[in-house]
Structure 1
Amino acid sequence: MGMQTTPPPEPIRLAVMGCGQRGKNYAAYALSEPTKCKVVAIAEPRPKTRKLVADSYRVDQSLVFESWTDFLEASAETIKTIGTRLADAVLITVQDHMHTELVEAFAAQGYHILCEKPMATNIEHCLRMESAVKKAGIIFGMGHVLRYSPYTKAVTEVVRSGKLGALVNAVHVEPVGHYHFAHSYVRGSWSREADSSFSLMTKSCHDIDILCHWLSPSTPSQVSSFGGLQHFRKSEKPTGAGEAARCFDCAVEKDCPYSAKRIYLDKVTAGSLGWPSSTIVDGIPDIENITEALRYGPYGRCVYEHDNDVVNIQYSSGATASFTMVAFTSLICDRQTRLHFTHGEIVGDMKTFTVNNFRTGQSTVHKPKDEGGGHGGGDLGLISTFVEAIREGNQELLGTDVTDVLKSHLTVFAAEQSRRQGTVVNCEEFERLARLQFESARSEEDGH
């Protein structure tokens, strides 16, 4: 009598809402690990991008949608008629201000959710998201990819081991990169706070999250923040540029470090079709569509003609952390970190880190493997962990939950209040008042 074998579990079925750079990065896991998960549905308004992604993942045409609301309606119909959802989980990778609406809608239908950072663009929406996820009892992942890279996991292991004593201070720098900042936060989707959120939230909420992760179970007690728009304003525009509002019309474009022709067109001309050029057109970038995008779209505008609107944290243990986000550097998001313990230190740059143990006098260099896929393997680490958490029905595999995610976001909102008001903000009091206002508004709504 032969041995009985258990059939392998079916792949986790994913629906991707928004097929931009982040959506494609997470979805790519389904191509490399088809036995683990499968992209079965997509929603994307751009026709060429929609077709490219649908073809890449062989998505059935009946499950290719122009908008997330179309997918939601189709899903509601199948739940009502045959009692099943169209997928197991939804990847929410749309614009930041839309996150809450999608999370609430899909949580209510019982989908597990992976949501790109940040949670939302205001405190009320973050609290609404927490409420929806807890009520639905679903697996919830947050796009805090820094937690999930082999590099960060290795650093975290040393932090948690206690070999270096207590962590008393962290110094963390995010060098965004001069042209990356211009691409995303001056010309791009996050250029105006009214349309997205303040830059500390949109770019660095996962940096604050990783600091909170390393310093837990201690929690932020006080935060102060300083910062402002230093360079990308009309007063800093080179005199030779005159009234030119676009790089194509500018006499000094060749000498400008923020030349759109250099950042996008020259790269495509040289055969580089990836980021950032791939993000500004529908479909595969070529000389023709990139030129059109730069002549008529926001990415060809002068960075000095845009209407754009240093965090210190003390923790309950007495530990302190400082975080700096800076645009003016050649490094592109290669974060620099120093963690100071009572008996040692860790100094790292997202590729390698050195552990200095004061007790033994030993200095050890660690070079964790970069598994690719963005953020030193963090994107891959997050989506693979999310899929595994669904398979096992275990939120703890993600190492965080929606309330934990909310707390690190509230620290970022508190930092922004500090920056605007020029005060030190008490984090516990800030959260207490936020929850109080939220509950009060909910009670009024229910009363009506």
Structure 2
Amino acid sequence: MPRVKVIVVGAGSRGQTYSDFASVHPDRMQVVGVADPRAFVRRKLQECHKIADENTFDDWHRVAEKEKFADAVFICTPDRLHKDPAVALAKKGYHILLEKPMAVTEEDCTEITEACTQSGVILTVCHVLRYDPAIRKIKELIDNGAIGDVIHIQHFEPVGFYHFAHSFVRGNWRNETESSFALLAKSCHDVDLIHHWAGGRRCIKISSFGSLSHFRRENKPPGAANRCLDCSAEADCPYSAKKIYLDRVKMGWTRWPVSVVCSTSLPDIESVTEALETGPYGRCVYECDNDVCSNQVVNMEFEGGLTASFTMVAFTKEICQRKTSIYGSRGELSYNGEISVFDFLTQRSTKHEVDMNVPGSFSKGGHGIADYHLVDSFLSAVERGDPLLIQSGAEETLASHRLVFEAERARLESRVVLCGTDRV
């Protein structure tokens, strides 16, 4: 089949990661355009994929103004800038790979879904966890009746103490008015997984509790400075920017989170030091404009009596290493890096292994394995014109996003929300 030609709108960390598929499989994918207002990341992607100057833009609007020159668009802009390019470029006939969350309001999510449906283009939202081989195996075991009827799902996301400080205190997702609330920005993945495992049963009730803990001005140590590099209390602070970024780059580590600190150059000791002296990532975690939840629990009841509980917490050693227990009428499935099923009849546990091998840079930790399978599925769907090849299409993604909005409404209004019918 001919290569799928792709335009990357938003050349930051996610845009770079997804576009790397073209370097691993140049026979299947070609990056032919890039749009990003930041000159450094735009040029970096252009040079990596040898993109022509006439297809390199500082504004996605210029892509929409041109005659269609690719098959698909990867939209990896900030959360609040998803809707407009997604709608406009879907109407131009581009298939859309859209970074999660789909958008920051239910209305915008609905508009994106309708635009893609009416234009007849494939929409894949980057719920990358769905493409993780272990997650897919869990779904296969459930569907094959390995634990009988699913009765309860318990799912936990440990965000990680320095990950939360990086992304949700100092970083791009720290402030709801500039990005979105934490459950949407960080954990729409997880609510989507619960919805996925529920197997088409509709969620009928939802409640949620959570708040911003610890990262407040009243918890600032006495005598601490407003920036970590000038701070006398830095040595005793686990959230020190010096420890999280500068000490890592001194050891030769230039991947995430160091890779996103410098917006105008590759990270080295000098550029990271300058960024911490002047930029947002060098600020004291107790003096930021953050307002999103650091811990939250969501409780759900689905049709047929299935219940589910999801917990997100910032203050953990592990970084996004989800833990899941699914309880059924005939057995119990647990996942904590490996999948195990305990059968009530035989009283035996069985471990289920999955192939976690992927090529190139996608194998280097994080959710790179899932990233690889996400892009692979999207390209296969575009190549064959078959949206059934993706795991996170428009309508199902819209349904799981609606649960996230309902959960946050339940938290803000301190009540149980009857999903879809309880609006006030």
Compute the RMSD of aligned alpha carbons. 1.3
Q: Deviations over 1:178-206 (max 9, x none)?
A: 00000000000111101111100000001
Could you tell me how far apart the structure 2 residues matched to 1:358 and 1:33 are? 45
Please state whether the residue corresponding to 2:14 is helix, strand or coil: helix
The match for 1:201 among 184, 199, 204 is 184
Could you tell me how far apart the structure 2 residues matched to 1:200 and 1:382 are? 22
Matched with 1:331 is 318
Could you tell me how far apart the structure 1 residues matched to 2:393 and 2:335 are? 27
The match for 1:44 among 32, 36, 50 is 36
Could you tell me how far apart the structure 1 residues matched to 2:16 and 2:84 are? 21
Alignment coverage as a number of residue pairs = 412
> Following superposition of structure 1 onto structure 2, how do residues 48-447 of structure 1 map, counting pairs within 5 Å?
48-73=40-65, 75=66, 78=67, 85-241=68-224, 244-282=225-263, 283-309=265-291, 310-349=297-336, 351-371=337-357, 373=362, 374-375=366-367, 377-430=369-422
Q: Is the 8 A contact 2:9 2:73 kept in 1?
A: yes
- TM-score in terms of structure 1 length: 0.90
Could you tell me how far apart the structure 2 residues matched to 1:64 and 1:370 are? 35
> Quick one: which amino acid aligns to residue 242 of structure 2?
K
Please state whether the residue corresponding to 1:346 is helix, strand or coil: strand
> Quick one: which amino acid aligns to residue 252 of structure 2?
G
Of residues 374-383 and 111-120 in structure 1, the stretch that sits farther from structure 2 once superposed is: 374-383
> Quick one: which amino acid aligns to residue 202 of structure 2?
T
Deviation at 1:376, TM superposition (A): 5.6
Q: Is the 8 A contact 2:130 2:392 kept in 1?
A: no
Could you tell me how far apart the structure 2 residues matched to 1:390 and 1:134 are? 15
- TM-score in terms of structure 2 length: 0.95
Of residues 127-136 and 175-184 in structure 1, the stretch that sits farther from structure 2 once superposed is: 127-136
5+ residue gaps, structure 1: 1-8, 79-84, 435-448
5+ residue gaps, structure 2: 292-296
User: Which structure would you say has the larger Rg?
Assistant: 1
**Relative to total residues, which structure has the larger helix share, 1 or 2?**
1
| Structure 1 segments (4+ residues) deviating >6 Å | none
Q: Deviations over 1:302-337 (max 9, x none)?
A: 001122220001111210110000000110000011
Could you tell me how far apart the structure 1 residues matched to 2:21 and 2:100 are? 18
Q: Deviations over 1:21-65 (max 9, x none)?
A: 111111111111111111111112222222221111121222121
Could you tell me how far apart the structure 2 residues matched to 1:409 and 1:163 are? 28
Q: Is the 8 A contact 2:35 2:42 kept in 1?
A: yes
